[in-house]
Structure 1
Amino acid sequence: MPNAVFPAITPDRVHHWGGAALLVARRGVRGAPPSWSPLPFTPAEWQVLHGLPRWRQAEWAAGRLLAKTVVSKVTGRPVGEVEILPRADGSPRLSVPGLQVSLSHTAHHVAAAVAPGAVGVDLCEVSAAPSVRRAAPHVLSPAERRLTRDSPELLTAAWALKEAAVKAGRRCLSGEAPRRVRILALTPPLLSGGRRALVGGAGTATLALVLP
């Protein structure tokens, strides 16, 4: 079911917000081997790709291709000259000086965002609301859970905002990092620490973009 609470983000079109560029697309054929088409990956990227479990390869390829497309549209560089490799902490490192990148996947969608500084993007399918509800006490404070009013769209927005914020800080959702990010409001989104946040509906998913 599409997200009816937040503004729709048009897929397959680069959106500019707060200095960041964002692109969202529906996932293609899942599980297809990355060798069925000449994908524009560098030798180092191919090495990373082939080192992943087979079930993870299509997801990894989809995210990198989308991110390369955004960077190409923003900078004019050919897609094949854009390289995205994992840092030691697992976060994506972009080869283009002065730009940072963030990626997110679900079973049905993929999103990529680039910005001159730190950036975090996250997708959460609205259908995942029951799982979010069960995990919420570990990530959301009582006050934040009250903001969601147990709405599937607001629950997934809260989860995506936390995830995007900790990605922007190159942290993970486990531990204390999500507790240090406070959600003050959801419609419109307002975060602590002067962070700027955007929430939108991406088909059947909720998307959050966070900039420090």
Structure 2
Amino acid sequence: MDSTFPSIAPGHIHRWGGAGLIVARRSDLDQAPLLTPAEQRVVRALPAWRQAEWLAGRVLAKRLVSEVVAAPASDVEILPRDDGSPHVVVGGSPMPAVNVSISHTTRHVAAALAPESVGVDLCETVSAAAVRRVADHALSPGELSLIGTDRPEVMAGAWALKEAAVKADRSSIFGDAARRIAILGLRPPVLGGRRRAMVWQAGDVVLALVLAHPATPPGLPGALSRGPAG
């Protein structure tokens, strides 16, 4: 059966619309990230079940930032803002033009980076039935009609798209924010407002990327500033 969304290969850095992103299986991440003292304090404050996924996200995000800004991963620090979204510090200096988003599932982790506000989200296709049961919290009747019921990856893609959009807006899927972001199309993805979006599939997980209020200034350093690519 053909995939609903284009495929994306795990373990490699991809670029789209000036953003960089990477998705990986958590079982393939055998390297613990080098943590700064501030990061160590953050992870120690997390419950035990949350620490492993937090560390997996930092492995990918530090690798992504390191390659984009050409700095050693040991110099990259990713700490939470007051709203919980990650912000980047390199060599002790904040990087306001480098925005990062991280997502986890039971078996996968993803990270994205862009010069504008960015959101990335993962949803496993096996979660589609559970997502449908709570979908009316985030999806309007019109969006549910657009999605239909035929394929689990479509529901997973719609949920990931909403999650990525509210992350890019530094908000939450729970509450009114998700309802204020309209899905106008899913194949290809189109969102209301000044947002660009893309959805991919990596095996049994769907990955959504949203760039909020994109502008046209210089992009990030290096190859990721050269524009869209699949």
TM-score calculated relative to the size of structure 2: 0.86
Partner Cα separation in structure 2 for residue 99 and residue 168 of structure 1: 13
1:37-76 correspondence runs (5 A): 39-76=33-70
Q: Which runs of 5+ in 2 are unaligned?
A: 213-230
Aligned partner letter, 1:91: S
- Runs (4 or more) in structure 1 with deviation over 6 Å come to none
In structure 1, distance between residues paired with 2:68 and 2:152: 34
SS at the partner of 1:153? helix
Change beyond 3 A, Cα 1:106–1:37: closer
Which whole-Å CA distance do the structure 2 matches of 1:172 and 1:152 have between them?
23
Aligned pair partner of 2:81 in 77, 83, 87: 87
SS of the residue corresponding to residue 27 of structure 2 reads coil
User: Does the CA contact (< 8 Å) of 2:32 and 2:59 recur in 1?
Assistant: no
Q: 2:32, 2:55 within 8 Å by CA — same for their partners in 1?
A: no
- 1:123 is aligned to 2:122: yes
Shift of 1:37: 6.7
Residues 1-212 of structure 1: matches in 2 within 5 Å?
4-28=3-27, 39-96=33-90, 97=95, 98-150=97-149, 151-212=151-212
Q: Distance in 2 between matches of 1:47 and 1:78?
A: 21
Matched residue of 1:62: which SS? helix
Q: Quick one: percent identity of the two aligned structures?
A: 55
Distance in 2 separating the partners of 1:3 and 1:93:
38
Residues 134, 182 of structure 1: CA spacing in aligned structure 2 closer, same or farther, 3 A cutoff? same
Q: Deviations over 1:33-67 (max 9, x none)?
A: xxx97631111101111111111111000001100
Q: Number of residues paired by the alignment?
A: 206
- Structure 1: runs of 5 or more not aligned: 31-35
> 1:119 and 1:81 mapped to 2: Cα distance?
22
Counterpart CA distance in 2 for 1:47 and 1:202 is 33
Aligned to 2:225: none
Contact 1:3–1:203 under 8 Å retained in 2: no
| CA deviation vs aligned residue, 1:128-182 (integer Å, no higher than 9, x gap) | 0011110111110111001111121111111001000000000001111001100
Q: Distance in 2 between matches of 1:197 and 1:29?
A: 27
CA contact (8 A) 1:42 1:83 kept: yes
Q: Normalising by the residue count of structure 1, what TM-score does the alignment of the two structures yield? A: 0.93
The amino acid across from 2:134 in the alignment is A
State the Cα RMSD in Å.
1.8
**Compared with structure 1, are the counterparts of its residues 178 and 38 closer, same or farther at alpha carbon in structure 2 (3 Å cutoff)?**
closer
Secondary structure of the residue that 2:3 maps to in structure 1?
coil
